[in-house]
Amino acid sequence: MSERLVIHHVGHFGDGVAIEGSQPVYVPYALGGEVVDVQPAHSHPDRRELLHVVAPSPERIEPFCPHFGTCGGCAIQHWQPEPYRTWKRNLVVEALSHAGIECPVDELIDAHGSGRRRMTLHARQSQNDILRVGFAAAGRHEIIAIDHCPILDPALNGGIETANAIAELLKPVAKPLDIQVTASDNGLDIDVRGSGPLDTAMLSHLSKLAEQHKLARLTRHGEVVIQRNTPTIMVGKAKLTLPPGSFMQPTVAGEEALAALVIAKCKGAKQVAELFCGFGPFALRLAEKFSVTAFDSEAAAISSLQDAVKSTQGVKPIKAETRDLFRRPLMLQELRDVDCVVFDPPRQGAQAQSQQLATSKIKHVVAVSCNPATFARDARILIDGGFRIDSVTPVDQFRHTPHVEIVARFKR
């Protein structure tokens, strides 16, 4: 049964929002001011599926990807760039306002660059034994098979074909697979998860496939199957070996933009503590100017950071330590010799660490976040502890999605 709605605005997740009575109704791929025909989305009572745009917005444009609207990777390709950029900046403004924080927010920095340098493809077999390799459908437990993705960095060329070949080879295992593909400077680095233990014959077949597709490295759950070349990337002056399946900023331009902002906002510091440092995309650059102590829960990432420091000239020594900052945040006495703290936590934010910083004598904090809601929560903690925000900069390296990065400086 279809119904006709008038879309009021675009919501926080990129869906069009209609107001029906007192309740919002969410319509993916609709824009503010549009009149649309929709039908119920059975698994979500407050959502609708777009059937037809009766009266399109003048801001609507043609999506550039043939998979848009079925693949769940992008939420917005149908909106003109300027209103899209305004909307994305406002995600930060509104999150701060919701937390009772009023402060200037800079213009959005576009950091898509040449595109995404990492992706995770899912391989699933249907009940009729059809193998699909691609991205998850929007709002559904279904895989949309893809043969091309226009938002990827050209360095990932061949990654989709290789993932298909791996999934086909592992089809007898009959398990759902997640295949992470990362572009290193020496070729593709692929980590396969979900297969369970594999026998010697299957591992041999995987090694031959890696040779055939000229992969730098192929790992299974982080364990090396074959390494033809050491997968490395440049981080500032440092050549760093990637840990298998490691997290990295999705675009080269994004990493460089965030790092430049972090360094600029650390101005005046001497001793910097970087928390949730990963393998050191900020720490290695910070060490060109400051003394750095770095912490992260991933031992492999810390090991790669330590190795990079040893082999790099022109950076100061970095004290790097494996530590779960969610369970063991840095305490007051451990912050005695630090005059600036940088933190870049996962999406859940850094609540426990912010509480410690709020009661410390630290006068300078630089916060990096990929989640406006948890950033605003943590900012509120710091402000209640006596800090003030003197700069907030949003960065868009997840173009065409509702995800936005934030770099902010707090002083007292």
- Of the CA atoms within 13 Å of residue 334, those in its CB half-sphere come to 16
Domains and CATH numbers, the chain: 3-60 (2.40.50.140), 86-112+248-411 (3.40.50.150), 118-231 (2.40.50.1070)
Separation CA 179–CA 192 (nearest Å)? 5
Tens of pLDDT along 163-200?
Answer: 999 999 999 998 999 999 999 999 999 999 999 999 99
Catalytic residue among 71, 149, 266, 370: 370
- Tell me the pLDDT band of 235, cut-offs 50, 70 and 90: very high
CB atoms within 10 A of CB 71: 19
Residue 127 has pLDDT above 90, yes or no: no
pLDDT of residue 367: 98
Instruction: Give residues with Cβ within 8 angstroms of 212, minimum separation 6.
Output: none
Confidence at 141, pLDDT banded by 50, 70, 90: confident
pLDDT at 139: 72
CA distances from 141 to 72, 76, 409 (A): 11, 20, 40
SS3 for 407?
strand
Q: What is the pLDDT of residue 288?
A: 96
If you count DSSP H runs as helices and E runs as strands, how many of each does the chain have, helices first?
8, 23
Answer whether residue 379 shows pLDDT above 90: yes
Euclidean distance between CA atoms 166 and 143, whole angstroms: 16
pLDDT in tens, 11-57: 999 999 999 888 899 999 999 999 999 999 877 888 999 999 999 99
Phi, psi of 273 (to 5 degrees): -105, 125
| Residue 245: pLDDT over 90 | no
On whether the CB atoms of residues 354 and 346 are closer than 8 A, the answer is no
Active-site annotation holds for 370:
yes
Averaged over 121-141, what is the pLDDT? 87
